[in-house]
A and B are shown apart, each in its own frame.
Chain A
Amino acid sequence: MAKSKVRLFLAVIVLALSLAVLIWAFWPLVRESRVLPIPPADLQLPTPETFFPGLRMYF
């Protein structure tokens, strides 16, 4: 009787642990996203101002 109880206890523990590991291994990952607006001014041809933003104050 005691032997069967130990066996049942072991079965429950092993099953619970294994299921926990399986859940961790298959749990879908959280995804993060970042949205950045790109104005048309950033889609222009590069100008000297884009290389040296400080030039803007002189023109």
Chain B
Amino acid sequence: MNKRHFLLFLAGLVLAGVIQACSAAAYGPPPGTEGAGPEEPAAPAATQIFPATPTAVALLEPTALPAIPEQRRLTLEWPPTIRAGDADVIRLTLEVDEMGNLTPTAEIEGHAISGETVSIPNLYETHNVIAEARLDMAGVIVTPAGQVSEPLLPGKPVTFYWSVRPAEMGRYRGTVWLYLRFIPKEGGEEMRRTLSAQVIEIQAVTLFGLTAGPARFAGTVGSFVGAVLGFPFIDDVFRWLWRKLKR
């Protein structure tokens, strides 16, 4: 390898290093956002240019996707055990998480802007959002069967209820599905997103083979029979108790 080739090789190496450094600066996280949590959807999508002089800041319009500016919480409530023949309720609520409500901000330490709100198009303004839910559980009578839907409005919770009635003893597994359907207000293609699919298990139990209805009937009749059988002895029982208390 002569001197000219070696110099060319050296120049190539330097050039490759410069390109690598430039690409890392362009695609790497902006300074001051390393500690940002995952709930800052606007930060990677917003396009911002920061010139060398910190006082002059130029902001371009953000190109973020429309989003729902709320942190929500999904609560699923169900009975892990049900008496066979009895009905109970499964409740699914998608509510606004008051503690987790956030305003997406871009904060650049040492620069002119600080805590500036990044404008993300509000999904509620551009789309009708419908929450859809379904409970799949084989072997159990589920009411309502199939899909149920409710509009998702800003700051408002949506709640779905299902009544489940296992007819026989056993262990039943099911899935609670929740979807979001986005219908553009100005027309266009609808979009659907699966928000959660949660597996639940319900155990239907009996008392020596007795389901809930017959057990209640037997208990009522038995109590009546027991009371009638024991009725002639009630005065004896009271007398015995009275003697016991007197001593």
Contacts and interface: CB of A to CB of B under 8 A. Distances in A.
Nearest to A46: B193
A38 interface: yes
Interface in B140-182: 180, 182
Contacts, number: 157
B123 interface: yes
A54 interface: no
A37 B77 contact: no
> Which of A26, A32, A50 has the most chain B CB atoms closer than 10 A to its own CB?
A32
Interface stretch (B10-18, B46-54, B108-116, B222-230): B222-230
Interface of B: 38-39, 41, 65-83, 86, 88, 94, 97, 100, 102, 104, 123, 127, 180, 182, 191-193, 195-196, 198, 207, 210, 212, 215-216, 218-223, 225-227, 229-230, 232-233
15 contacts: A14-B226, A18-B219, A18-B225, A18-B226, A20-B219, A21-B216, A29-B81, A31-B80, A32-B78, A33-B78, A36-B76, A37-B73, A38-B71, A40-B104, A41-B38
